[in-house]
Chain A
């Protein structure tokens, strides 16, 4: 029975951690923006632009970290655009986000095509990030390979979870941020600049999701393809709800959804007869089920989707 093979299980678990990485970045970013009251449907576009920009900069400079940095920067810019539309102008959040995603998914590929010369059938690629085994710890059986032999971005993602949980729930800034998402009028009365908070959170969301996208092109595949994200941005939106807007649950959810993806990939490689699309469908079905389950005690930030108008 090949399914129960130890190397296979280790492989699937390691792949789970790997595939959870972009979800962690995107979902933590989305948690920040939704906690501040903005549903960022632009996340899929931000990830794609991050993947494309990250690859282009990494490819032309030969420095992958420069690519990650450039991705983060483009994410910040897109966050500013989203913030301008939803915060300053008070546009419908989901329409603005959807517009941003449509524009970005076209533009990310357009940018790639006009920047990279057609090189006669060979797909331009970079040597992706190598994994960094942590001394001693990576020698442990199974756990070593699963947890301590990952990309630098994966470690950073794991650190990001407690850090953002601390920021959100243990700092003054986090309290202000959540206040803005729950009751912007009260927050403003308490002297919090609602506009500034929402701008900031969307920039954080943009940067993190773009880095998640850059991970796909720079660490996973080493190349850029149109639609490289395969809808991972939408999975992140689902995951935020699934995780009840809490960073630690995001980690759990990302590992669960990453695991589904990993199992699906390995079943595909051993020639399983069930169409793998059934597995790809699972995260979405699970989220809808979770939505229904939590609906009676809905914990979405109260001011989500509502724009805030300054009283002059």
Chain B
């Protein structure tokens, strides 16, 4: 519908979208480049939502992880990759984790609503990054608000020659696998599901609800932080003020569309990556503005909410 508004035959538009996203090898690798941060943010949000910790702050946690990771990566020139890359990832994980931990602690200890704190945390972190990059860390060579180039030893290796298909994409998939194992196979995952289902009952069953929520928030933020590290070490090679075009917010869409299930989140991330990458191609081919991608994402989410209602409603009918 919105494509039609733009004066372009929708069928032609959508065929261009698909072609531009998965039509050839280069397009496909580029779609995977977007898939990686989306998947990580989607998992981060889904994990937190599983125990009803409403983490809207994946965007800020992504920046936090990218910042801490690059603080190390820029100065890691003399450290071999085998050590430098894992250290950078751990630091990035911790950076993101820290930025999710304080809203979780405030929620548990003082009952401060985490929707508001994580949301505001996004803006505090974006401006904090901007303050650093416009101030003390401005690139001395270009004068741009970006960090110096990170050490080559911390660049994620490229896995498909002639493309930008980097190590981070594999890492994202491994994290998805880990998420599956945690939710389906471990006691911790079971407890998180329990807390999400009924907090009072979980408490009565002897689960330390507060600790598990804080732990879930920390892991959630850490995963979002890894997305930030991936963007720095795989794509940009600087810390930048526009490291993410809203991956963290799209992560919320993905988590909901994927119904918080590991496989659902993987599929939803790929769908969103196709839309983002494809819209850019469609824009080049037909002139339909790229802002369409965001519009479609939002509309998908809203339609899904309506759809969820009707599936719930059907279940209720049968029960009567």
Contact = CB atoms under 8 A, between A and B. Distances in A.
Interface of A: 39, 41, 45, 81, 85, 89-92, 94-96, 98-107, 109-111, 113-114, 226, 231, 234, 237-238, 241, 274-275, 277-278, 280-281, 284-285, 287-288, 291-292, 295-296, 298, 300, 305
Contacts of A102: 246, 249-250, 253, 294, 297-298, 301
B236 to A, nearest CB: 19
A107 B123 contact: no
Given A277-B127, A277-B134, A291-B117, A113 B289 contact: yes
Contact of B135 (A274, A285, A288): A274
A231 B131 CA distance: 17
Contacts of A114: 5-7, 289
A125 to B, nearest CB: 19
Given A95-B256, A98-B56, A89 B116 contact: no
Contacts, number: 147
A292 B124 contact: no
Contacts of B2: 107, 110
Contact of B298 (A103, A237, A278, A305): A103
A21 B83 CA distance: 53
Contacts of A105: 294, 298
B251 to A, nearest CB: 10
Nearest to B241: A277
B119 interface: yes
A226 B245 CA distance: 13
Contact of B291 (A113, A280, A288, A291): A113
Interface string B284-320: 0000010111111111011001101100000000000
Contacts of B249: 98, 102
Q: Which of A234, A281, A305 has the most CB of B within 10 A?
A: A281
Contact of A277 (B106, B110, B131, B296): B131
Contacts of A234: 119-120, 123
B111 interface: yes
Nearest to A226: B291
A272 to B, nearest CB: 12
Contact of B116 (A231, A237, A275, A280): A237
Contacts of B295: 103, 106-107, 110
A216 B201 CA distance: 49
Contacts of B299: 103
A105 B112 CA distance: 28
Given A85-B302, A92-B305, A96-B302, 4 more contacts: A41-B115, A106-B291, A278-B131, A295-B110
Interface in B42-57: 54, 56
B111 A295 contact: yes
The 6 residue pairs across chains A and B that have the minimum distance between CB atoms: A103-B298, A106-B294, A106-B295, A99-B301, A281-B127, A102-B298
Contact of A281 (B111, B128, B252): B128
